[in-house]
Chain A
């Protein structure tokens, strides 16, 4: 019974295992000097491993609502339309379309010769089936609203699909980016979320599903019959790695080829020459913005001058430098700079504490020993944000300091997401919030700013009511004429800038990093993944040998 032998016995086992480390099958790394000299010619083969923090819950986008699941579905399915690299709508399964002059009828001309991954032909019956299921009460979807606006849908021939709306409805076109479902595989399931396709999808897209080990990984292989041509990269694996630090270590050791970096990782941790020889970092403006929203019925925030004062007090440059390490831009409204609906000429609020104090004085706030007081009450409020979000927590901390400088005490309270929504947002039980919106390319924001959307559980939870904005929102969504829409949205941004129902804070950069062997990546307003099927690895640089 000697204990020493057991401890020593562990050592040889460790050595043995280390030796086995050398025996992985079929992969090699190319030294960077050789990589630079390789001809840049598209070639088929190799595999890309992406890291994902969250797991997916299903492949049918209609019945899932998280970004990870939608992204996964995007490998396998197509919609009638999609966004191109400049965020303009282009046809995917629809070759072309016409909108009737009164804007109420859209006629889609579908591509011919497209096949489902099981060989069956894609026709307008599949589109009709998808539409019917979207409005079917048995389908547990959150996206039915857009499709319920359809008055009549018809499929006069296998390659034509026509929808008629009660009124001209511009966002309608974008809603047809919803993934089309295969009728022949789903029609016998009354509830598509229970069908096998939610776990083993079959679509028309560039990749076909191979395997899903929940919580661990998803595997896809290139679809040789894809209607836009077989993708170059032969296999895609999504690895679920819930921790950002772990994922970064995997990136550095080659276990992951593509992931999103945080600002400090982008600027500091990846600045070594070593890193730059193996990876390409990209940065482009993300389609999202962060804001400080006020409950407009709050006695302090009812007064526009107070909101504007806070906008002057907020040091947006400090926010961008502190939270984003410079990787982002100031937000002046609810649109992303560079998009067609973005109005660059609205009223701005540079960091000006003196101006802020002046406005507050106008509104009746007097300074008393460093704090602002009115009618005996100090200017104190609590800002809510959701727990676990580092960027928002930092934003709150910086704003707290900004406001303290002009005599306003802002307390920070973080709440876990589900409780946040149910207890505070839905019940309108908050003073102010720090939140963000992600932006779809279509500029219609009716649900966020229209006065009819201020009910409980609706999205205009700050309670913004402005008749001119209401009219403009209605105008903007009821015409397909870009110029007319632009005018309406420009004017809306002017009003919002003046009224400041939110203090618009910043638009962050998206910071993907990709292993250098992947070529064919061209950053554009839509990001880098819009042309994913066209990414490739030159033959000599390929790391994984994929058996077909």
Chain B
């Protein structure tokens, strides 16, 4: 087992290097350097100021030198300093934004897990029934609806018309003065809509996968033989079949990390959540190279982590792999 994990970890290193190379190349092919926004069309800036700033950021060195420097620092998780005027270390900026993005993603993955599995199972057991059809439309609606539109509709309903939930942000203005319980409740109220929405849009993948797995398992011989043995249907389904069908679904969880991260850009913008997605968008618009590369790398790293955990979980659960 340990060897399995170690081997997988080793494999991730060349992947990480490849990732950093691709992201570096990509953003340096982009027209418009980071200086442009500070000085272009700014009546009070001059060519001299521009050269000063270029030297200051090290942009006057050749490409491979820049990449080498970046790669060396990345090994120590030092992504350099952001090009934005606050000049803070990229790692710091990411570090303060990651918790909220991860929280929302983990909570919504949990929600998806809790809701999609039962839906998938029941749809498979009752294939073709009304429930199967309605739930199919339901989960696919979540998958097919433009998220920002649904977000606004829900905000209007719950925030403006009913006044039950806050509209945006992650905390009330008086957050600091609340008790611990108050803080938790406040945070929960603010995250309720985003998590529900993220969950709703992500239901389809997992529930359909669960359903098709379940369908396959049900047709297997050992299920038929369990039935023949006279076991109650409920045991057959929920114990034998489900246990085998659920394993592959765990891997899906890990694979959904990049999608959730990508979707966070829209989410965090519409809900005014100060997370990594929003930071990335701002970084792209501002050509903040170190920040962009840092987030792409971290995002890829999180994906690799998700995959690794999924693989490990699968290996733990499936004795056949454990032996090997």
Roughly how many angstroms separate A425 CA and B40 CA in the complex, as a whole number? 10
B42 at the interface (CB under 8 A from A): yes
- Complex interface bits, B8-52 against A, C-beta within 8 A gives 1, otherwise 0: 000000000000000000000011110011111111111111101
- The residue that B32 contacts in the complex, of A142, A243, A419, A455, with Cβ under 8 A, is A419
User: Interface size bucket, B side?
Assistant: 35 or more
Least Cβ–Cβ distance between B199 and chain A, in angstroms: 11
A119 at the interface (CB under 8 A from B): no
Interface size on A, residues (CB 8 A): 70
Least Cβ–Cβ distance between A65 and chain B, in angstroms: 5
Chain B residues whose CB sits within 8 angstroms of the CB of A241 once the complex forms: 168-169, 272
Roughly how many angstroms separate A63 CA and B165 CA in the complex, as a whole number? 39
Q: Is the CB of A459 within 8 A of B97?
A: no
Q: Is the CB of A422 within 8 A of B33?
A: yes
Kindly report which residue of chain A lies nearest to residue B272, judged by CB atoms: A241
Roughly how many angstroms separate A416 CA and B286 CA in the complex, as a whole number? 11
- The residue that B269 contacts in the complex, of A18, A243, A544, with Cβ under 8 A, is A243
Q: Is the CB of B49 within 8 A of A253?
A: no
B150 at the interface (CB under 8 A from A): no
**Given A21-B165, A142-B44, is A418 in contact with B285 using a C-beta cutoff of 8 Å?**
yes
Q: Is the CB of B49 within 8 A of A145?
A: yes
Roughly how many angstroms separate A47 CA and B48 CA in the complex, as a whole number? 43
Kindly report which residue of chain B lies nearest to residue A447, judged by CB atoms: B43
Chain B residues whose CB sits within 8 angstroms of the CB of A55 once the complex forms: 282
Chain A residues whose CB sits within 8 angstroms of the CB of B56 once the complex forms: 140
Interface residues of A in 445-472 (CB under 8 A from B): 447-448, 455, 457-459
- Complex interface bits, A80-118 against B, C-beta within 8 A gives 1, otherwise 0: 000000000000000000000000000000000000000
Q: Which of B170-178, B216-224, B298-306 lies at the interface with chain A? A: B170-178
Least Cβ–Cβ distance between B132 and chain A, in angstroms: 14
Q: Is the CB of B188 within 8 A of A17?
A: yes
Chain B residues whose CB sits within 8 angstroms of the CB of A57 once the complex forms: 84-86
Chain B residues whose CB sits within 8 angstroms of the CB of A425 once the complex forms: 40-41
Chain A residues whose CB sits within 8 angstroms of the CB of B152 once the complex forms: 245-246, 249
Least Cβ–Cβ distance between A340 and chain B, in angstroms: 20
Q: Is the CB of B169 within 8 A of A239?
A: yes
Kindly report which residue of chain A lies nearest to residue B118, judged by CB atoms: A3
Q: Is the CB of B118 within 8 A of A418?
A: no
Chain A residues whose CB sits within 8 angstroms of the CB of B93 once the complex forms: 214
Q: Is the CB of A253 within 8 A of B167?
A: yes
- The residue that A145 contacts in the complex, of B33, B46, B88, B148, with Cβ under 8 A, is B46
Q: Is the CB of A246 within 8 A of B282?
A: no
Roughly how many angstroms separate A246 CA and B268 CA in the complex, as a whole number? 11
- Complex interface bits, A218-244 against B, C-beta within 8 A gives 1, otherwise 0: 000000000000000000010111110
Q: Is the CB of B167 within 8 A of A142?
A: no
- Complex interface bits, B56-75 against A, C-beta within 8 A gives 1, otherwise 0: 10000000000000000000
Most buried by A among B36, B115, B163: B36
Chain B residues whose CB sits within 8 angstroms of the CB of A21 once the complex forms: 163-165, 189
Chain A residues whose CB sits within 8 angstroms of the CB of B200 once the complex forms: none
Interface residues of A in 135-179 (CB under 8 A from B): 137, 140-146
Interface residues of B in 259-295 (CB under 8 A from A): 269-272, 274-275, 278-279, 282, 285-287
Q: Is the CB of B271 within 8 A of A216?
A: no
A58 at the interface (CB under 8 A from B): yes
Roughly how many angstroms separate A84 CA and B232 CA in the complex, as a whole number? 85
- Complex interface bits, A51-72 against B, C-beta within 8 A gives 1, otherwise 0: 0000101100001110001000
Q: Is the CB of B49 within 8 A of A25?
A: no
Q: Is the CB of B287 within 8 A of A418?
A: yes
Roughly how many angstroms separate A419 CA and B44 CA in the complex, as a whole number? 21
Roughly how many angstroms separate A1 CA and B38 CA in the complex, as a whole number? 59
Roughly how many angstroms separate A381 CA and B49 CA in the complex, as a whole number? 34
Q: Is the CB of B32 within 8 A of A249?
A: no
Chain B residues whose CB sits within 8 angstroms of the CB of A419 once the complex forms: 30-32
Chain A residues whose CB sits within 8 angstroms of the CB of B45 once the complex forms: 142-143, 145
B106 at the interface (CB under 8 A from A): no
Chain B residues whose CB sits within 8 angstroms of the CB of A417 once the complex forms: 37, 285
Interface residues of A in 417-459 (CB under 8 A from B): 417-419, 421-423, 425-426, 440, 447-448, 455, 457-459
Most buried by A among B33, B46, B50, B122: B46
Chain A residues whose CB sits within 8 angstroms of the CB of B168 once the complex forms: 241, 246, 249-250, 255
Kindly report which residue of chain B lies nearest to residue A141, judged by CB atoms: B49
Interface residues of B in 238-252 (CB under 8 A from A): 238, 242
**Given A240-B272, A418-B285, is A194 in contact with B40 using a C-beta cutoff of 8 Å?**
no
Least Cβ–Cβ distance between A22 and chain B, in angstroms: 10
- The residue that A418 contacts in the complex, of B37, B84, B164, with Cβ under 8 A, is B37
Chain B residues whose CB sits within 8 angstroms of the CB of A69 once the complex forms: 85
- The residue that B156 contacts in the complex, of A6, A249, A457, with Cβ under 8 A, is A249
Most buried by B among A7, A141, A423, A455: A141
Q: List 30 A-B contacts (CB under 8 A).
A: A17-B185, A17-B192, A21-B164, A24-B172, A25-B182, A27-B174, A140-B85, A142-B44, A142-B45, A142-B53, A143-B44, A145-B45, A146-B44, A193-B87, A213-B274, A215-B279, A216-B171, A216-B274, A239-B169, A242-B278, A243-B148, A243-B272, A246-B155, A253-B163, A255-B167, A422-B32, A423-B31, A425-B40, A425-B41, A459-B43
